Amino acid sequence: MAAAGESAPPTMRERYRAQVRHEVKQAALAQLAQAGPAAVSISAIGKQLGVSGPALYRYFASRDELLTELAIDAYRDLAGALAAASRAGQGPGPRFAAAARAYRSWALEQPHRYRLLFGPPLPGYDAHAQPLIDAAQAAMNVLLGTLGEADQATAPPEPLASQLASWARSYDHLAGPAVAMHAILAWSRLHGFVSLEIAGNYASMGLDPARLFEIELAALGTG
């Protein structure tokens, strides 16, 4: 029996359920890496694990639910990598640069998970459902937190200023419009660069993406 204030240890049934869910996710990640989100199939995973497809629906109600959990896991993993990297920097610029490098490294190491988060959504799949928005919040908060107070002379005009302030508040962050705009534009440039790199565009041009990336960071004023 658990002591007062302590949670009871998981039961055998709970441990078995957690293990099956973990194995299903690992199989789904392999499918994702091989052929993208469209290839994720609960029935195929069931065959691989020696379990009937219908039986696995007791663990994930649908393929979309499975994809959503994979995306939430990926957002949490990415946010953790960004936060850990940003803590190594001293001051807003170096902290953002460290987080940006971690963003690129995470995408290069796990391009299938990066594409799951930021690639085109599958037809009929709600890629902007609230649980996914909530999961993305932690990663964006790292960017907002590293940028500090932007030069107020760069503050955007209305109505964009109010829209940016409202967006920042939706992320539980008190950043002003200038900081919010800096974060969104910086992320847009990071995403564009990384998406081109993992698609092999720079390699096909005979260019060194690592050197290009450092130049991009310098252009952002954070290198």
**Averaged in consecutive runs of 10 residues, what is the pLDDT profile of the chain (223 residues)?**
63 90 96 94 92 87 95 96 88 86 97 94 88 89 74 76 87 76 89 96 97 93 59
The fold of 10-61 is: Arc Repressor Mutant, subunit A (1.10.10)
Q: Are 48 and 111 in contact (CB under 8 A)?
A: no
Q: Output the pLDDT for position 173.
A: 66
Q: Output the pLDDT for position 174.
A: 66
Six token digits for residue 110: 């796990």
CATH architecture classification, 74-219 = Orthogonal Bundle (1.10)
Q: Output the pLDDT for position 1.
A: 44
* Torsion sign over Cα 187, 143, 110, 112: negative
Residue span(s) of the chain under CATH 1.10.357.10 come to 74-219
Q: Output the pLDDT for position 172.
A: 65
Question: How far apart are alpha carbons 100 and 188 in whole angstroms?
Answer: 12
